[in-house]
Structure formats: structure tokens, C-alpha cells
Amino acid sequence: MTLNRRTFLGTTAAAATTLAAPNVLAQGAGKPRVVVIGGGAGGATAARYIAKDSDGAIDVTLVEPTRTYFTCFFSNLYIGGFKEISDIGHTYGKLAAAGINVLHDWAVDVDRDAKTVTLAGGSTLPYDKLILSPGIDFVDGAVEGWSIEAQNAMPHAYKAGSQSELLRAQLEAMPEGGTFAMVAPPNPYRCPPGPYERVSMVAHFMKENNPTAKIIVADPKPKFSKMSLFQEGWNKHYPGMVDWIGEEFGGGNVSVDPANMTVTIDGEETQVDVCNVIPAQKAGRIAEMAGVTDGNWAPVNPADMSARADADVYVLGDSAEQGDMPKSGFAANSQAKVCANAVRGALTGSKVFPAKYSNTCWSLIATDDGVKVGATYEPTEEKIASVDSFISETGEDSALRKATYEESEGWYTGITTDMFG
């Protein structure tokens, strides 16, 4: 079944009819069906919680193209030499054993009128509720001279796995005293502290293996998450190695030449040995194809993560436009539990609890030097709003920083178990 996407982009009347229609499958012919697209922190968690808490009353299908999922969170620690690539890789066997139908395929179309998802392999999946958690895609032309075809020469490494391995290999091959450049993304983007933890991990790797190397960061923003903490750490652990060029000094006026390995910042061209380009981002493409985005991100209802365009479609994690929560693995996991509770309630009549959300982002600056930022959130009419927040302080003693890093290790074990079983 093929849908002309123009027929549902902005069709308010049709959407209103769809929202008001009763859920036929949920009320009669067999088990209600939930299809989840994307097997990361949002999708895997949602699938697992719906399946285990509905006790078999809901048929759950998880669509994820990769057989081994590499978490973006902690991927910087692999780049820095603190982890092996296998440490951040996870498979789906336990989810399948728990009764979830795990399909390793690409979702290539959504027909919201027919309530079907089409897969690249040719299968069509009907759904009563659809959960989209596809992560990010990149905005075409966001960095002059760079495109996805250039990702082997200038990797983004913002989708973990082979790109992470490529960037690590390029660091290992850098000549002595060479130059690493990063083009940082504009807001909003996946994992606000992520680029700067990566700078820290690259600096750590260079301090151990190539101590005369230099790092240049071209940043279109005037400030960034945990800025004072990172800059304090760079000055302490990697003095003179990191040159951060913010908006005021032309950090947003950048072009790259992957063929010649040059970066031009505000008209000044620099020859580099490794260049990590992290472009501007938007919702994963399937969310756009489903017609639930505003062109960049997918606006959702704060109480349950349902798409504002369609009450039977939910959008989690990085793809969602929901308010104050950052785009992070912890946030996606938190949103998935709220969504799972709402979906179970809608399909089985089980109790739906008021939504509460939380997030913490840990970052490693150097060995045993961990920092964090986080908040708790509640839904309002307009958005998911921050209720209170916390952040590490500059000047903390080494014992506290080590404890913060160890806390992050415990969290990683906990969240990946929560996701994958």
C-alpha cells in the first residue's frame, strides 16, 4: 500500500477524523498491535515495557535495522580509549525472548490513514499504535562542503558504531604534532555536552599517544552545555592543546574541503589531519515521512509523547520537540516509560499514571574526572517543563569527580539493562 505523503501533510480534517475514530482492533478482532520503529533508548525501552507490563495482551513489533546497537552515550569513551567497541554494543535476543517480534529491517513508509508501516523488505505491518524513535538525521547543506557522502573522509561519529571506529582509527593514524578539527553543531542537537566530551576524549587520547597534537573547535554557538566545567578541565588536563573558536570569533562561518582536508573558519584556511564534522540535525527521516514533523522535529503532547499531528503516533527521544528536556539517552528512556504506560492504558484500559520525566547527562573530561548535569520535569499544556535542575561545580575535589564518573558507569549498566533486558 502506497501513500502520497502530500495527502496527509497538513490535512487537519482527516487527522481530526482519525483521532476521533474508535480503535477497531483494540476493541475486537484479536490483540491490539503496537509497532515501534527504532531500537535505541526510546524504542527498545518502550517495546520492553509495553510487552512485559501488558502480560501478552498486546502484540509488540520492534523494527530496527541493526542487529547490534551501539549506544551513542559512552561512545566518546571508546574514542578516548576508556572502552572497547564491544562494551557499547547490545543485541536484541532478550527482547525477542520476552515475546517482542524483533524485525531487523528498515521502515520506509508510514500510511497513517491505513495505519500501516512498510518495510524495505516488502512487508507491511498494521498497527493500532505506532511509536517512532528513529534518532536523528542531518540537515542537508548544514556545513558548506560537507555531505553524508563525505562521512568517510570527515566522519560525524554521531551515530555510534562504524563511524566511531573510523574516527578512532583516524586519531590513531594522525602524524605526530598533527591537527584535529571539530565542527560543532548548532542547537538543538543530540546530547548537548556530547561534542565537548568528545573534545576531552580526543585530548586524552592525544595526551597519551600524540602529546604535541592540536585540537581546533569551530562552534556556531556563543556558549555550550557545561562550558565552564569543560574549559576548566581542558586547562587543567590538556593545557594549550584545545583552541575553541566560538560564534564571536567566526566559529559559525565554516566550510570544509574533504578532498584536500582543509577547514576554513571565518576566511582562514587550515590544513588538518582529522576533521570531525557534526552537522545540524533533525528528526529521523521516518518521522518526516510519517508527516508528524514541523520540517525539523516532531511536536508532541507533553502528557504522553503522542504526536500533535496524530494521537495514535508517539515520538520519543531525539526526534521529539517537547520542550525543556535535552535530546539524550536518559531523556528518551524516561519518555519511553511514560509513553508505554499511556499506550497500555489506551489499548487495554489499564491505569495511566501522571507523567513525570527526568534526565542526567554525565561527561568524562579525563581519567576519573566526571561531571554531570540534570533535571526533573513535568508536563504543562505547552511543553515538558523543567521543575528543578542540578550541575557539577567548578573546583570540585578529585574524590567527588571520581564518584561522579563511577555513578555514570552504574547508570550505563542500569539503562542498557532497562533497554535490552
Answer yes or no: are the C-beta atoms of 195 and 185 closer than 8 Å: yes
29: confidence class by pLDDT, cuts 50, 70, 90: low
**Residue 413 grid coordinates:** 549498566
Rounded to an integer, the average pLDDT of 191-215 is 98
Q: Quote the DSSP letter at residue 302.
A: T
Residue-level pLDDT at 204: 98
Q: Among residues 103, 111, 118, which one has the least CA distance to residue 62?
A: 103
Is 26's pLDDT higher than 80? Answer: no
Q: What is the pLDDT of residues 409-420, one digit of tens each?
A: 999 999 999 999
Is 253's pLDDT higher than 90? Answer: yes
Q: Among residues 156, 136, 132, 157, which one has the least CA distance to residue 70?
A: 157
Residue-level pLDDT at 24: 35
Residue-level pLDDT at 233: 98
Residue-level pLDDT at 399: 98
pTM of the model: 0.92
Q: What is the pLDDT of residues 303-358, one digit of tens each?
A: 999 999 999 999 999 999 999 999 999 999 999 999 999 999 999 999 999 999 99
Residue-level pLDDT at 232: 98
How far is CA 346 from each of CA 306, 340, 360, 379, rounded to the nearest angstrom? Answer: 12, 10, 29, 19
Q: What is the pLDDT of residues 353-404, one digit of tens each?
A: 999 999 999 999 999 999 999 999 999 999 999 999 999 999 999 999 999 9
In the chain the domains, ranked by start, together with CATH numbers, are 5-65+105-137+281-352 (3.50.50.60), 142-277 (3.50.50.60)
Q: What is the pLDDT of residues 221-248, one digit of tens each?
A: 999 999 999 999 999 999 999 999 999 9
63 against 14, higher pLDDT: 63
Rounded to an integer, the average pLDDT of 119-126 is 97
The amino acid at 376 = T
What gap in Å lies between CA 201 and CA 222, rounded to an integer?
Answer: 22
Mean pLDDT, the chain, whole residue set: 93
Residue-level pLDDT at 25: 41
Q: What is the pLDDT of residues 283-296, one digit of tens each?
A: 999 999 999 999 99
What gap in Å lies between CA 43 and CA 38, rounded to an integer?
Answer: 5
Q: What is the pLDDT of residues 102-114, one digit of tens each?
A: 999 999 999 999 9
Residue-level pLDDT at 13: 32
Helix (H) or strand (E) holding 130: strand 129-132
